[in-house]
Amino acid sequence: MSKSNLFFSKKLISWYLTHKRDLPWRRTQLPYYVWLSEIILQQTRVDQGLPYYKAFVSAYPSIKDLANATEEEVLKLWQGLGYYSRARNLYSTAKFIANELNGEFPSSYLGLIKLKGVGDYTASAIASICFNEASAVVDGNVYRVLSRYYGIETPINSSKGIKEFKQMAQTLVDKNNPGDHNQAIMEFGARQCKPQNPECNSCILNNSCVSLQKGMISKLPVKLKKTKVKKVHFNYIVIITKDGKTIFQKRTGKGIWKNLYQFPLIESIKDINKDELLRLGEFRELSFTYGIRSLVLYNEKIKIHKLSHRHIYTRFWIAESSRISDIAVPVSQIFSYPVPNLIFTFIVAFFKKKK
């Protein structure tokens, strides 16, 4: 490591040891807890993820406990965090480690990255923190710190940028203390070199920060424009049977919210009114199957649920049924099912009001 790189790392670690937040996963080097925290914190702020981490540790103190749960239980505990593939991968990997690896995590980056749901960042974090391997992490915070400090304008979400920043991060990592180094640069990006209003005046690196000297702080890091967000229209048919039950279905196949539950769904290419809905073949099939005798729109104002890659324009339609279905479930039970937040918000507002 060159003197300038050593300076960078030592300054960051010194800052970190003074300013780091007291977080439960930083009090241990056990890979289960570090892995759990890293999976939860992917695309999630610390303040949002912390209660989920505590809930998972309480419910599943060991990886074998997590492996012995059901996927449905794991998805329910995950509810509200979004990006549910993380939870499915978490559960799948827990079962693999518990059953195939006798509960022992791989002890190297190369072994860790083979695990389902574990990418370069997570493998590097676990390898450095738990096994003292000098493997550099690169996340959004690291991209921001490095691009600003060195004045790098390569787009961070380009193939060239991903390779360039990983190589740079690897040259900077403290070989003797990689765990603290990785946590230091991430913490520094989260709390000092923030996306908006970074605290440059009190920054320990302000005398040598290229972007500060050149007035480029607000322009870095550079990101290529995202692909256009797709708009979709969801019409949920909330069927209420005469004996107080409803139809709740598990989403299957690929796509968002796999293995979560929902009411029967009819997708449309645009917002549709009641007459248009009644004419759809999908609705007529539902009506015949469940004996729908009335249909009322629940939300006059369309509900917009925003995901990273799509915006979902949603209407809930309340349908009374004259027929008792064998697959219907009591309304009181649907609160125990794992559901997207979009559905959970509705069932809390509608069914609790009816009690």
The residues that are catalytic are 38
Radius of gyration of the chain measured on its C-alpha atoms? 25
Distance CA(223)–CA(155), nearest Å, equals 5
H/E element, 189: helix 178-191
Half-sphere exposure of 289 (CA within 13 A, CB side): 13
Contact 184/15 with Cβ under 8 angstroms? Answer: yes
Q: What are the Cα distances from residue 26, in Å, to 17, 190, 281, 293?
A: 12, 16, 55, 57
Q: What angle do CA 68, 73, 76 make, to 5 degrees?
A: 155
Q: How far apart are CA 250 and CA 103, in angstroms?
A: 30
- 156 bridge partner residues: none
